[in-house]
Amino acid sequence: QKEVEQNSGPLSVPEGAIASLNCTYSDRGSQSFFWYRQYSGKSPELIMSIYSNGDKEDGRFTAQLNKASQYVSLLIRDSQPSDSATYLCAVGRPGTASKLTFGTGTRLQVTL
């Protein structure tokens, strides 16, 4: 079992719809959770962080965390073609250098 699992996609949604991206993790000691967006050929860019159970909203993005179910998700409202990218889920726990464990990413395609 992978430590951080994501569906590789592609996830295809029409413009203006809500995109829902999911991630599960295996380490119950994890305390920090991040979503990165990565355009093709570019480096990952941090878009959301969440540390406690519940929802966290930032503009069109909402991150949701459920530690009991070891599940974190990212909702993108009013999806735009510019949201088409690969979204990486990353999970961290306290420790030396506070390493993160990354999922392999979900490719999102927003269609016109």
Partner 1 sequence: DVKVTQSSRYLVKRTGEKVFLECVQDMDHENMFWYRQDPGLGLRLIYFSYDVKMKEKGDIPEGYSVSREKKERFSLILESASTNQTSMYLCASSSAHGNIYNEQFFGPGTRLTVL
How many residues line the site for partner 1 (CB under 8 A)? 26
Query: Based on CB atoms, which residue is closest to partner 1, 9 or 17?
Result: 9
Task: Return the residue of 37, 63, 65, 92 that touches partner 1, per CB under 8 A.
Answer: 92
Q: How many CB atoms lie within 10 A of CB 68?
A: 7
Q: Is residue 74 within 8 Å of 48, Cβ to Cβ?
A: yes
Task: Return the residue of 67, 75, 100, 107 that touches partner 1, per CB under 8 A.
Answer: 100
Minimum CB separation from partner 1 for residue 74, in Å? 15
User: Rule CB under 8 A: which of 31-90 touch partner 1?
Assistant: 31-32, 34, 36, 42-46, 49, 51, 88, 90
Task: Return the residue of 22, 93, 107, 109 that touches partner 1, per CB under 8 A.
Answer: 93
Give the pair of three-digit tokens for residue 34: 């991040």
Q: Is residue 21 within 8 Å of 108, Cβ to Cβ?
A: yes
Q: Does the protein bind partner 1 through residue 21 (CB under 8 A)?
A: no
- Contacts of residue 103, defined as CB under 8 A and 6 or more positions apart, other chains included, come to 2, 4, 5, 6, 23, 88, 89, 90
Following DSSP, what letter does each residue of 22-48 receive, concatenated?
EEEE--TT--EEEEEEE-TTS--EEEE
| Interface positions with partner 1 (CB under 8 A) | 31-32, 34, 36, 42-46, 49, 51, 88, 90, 92-100, 102-105
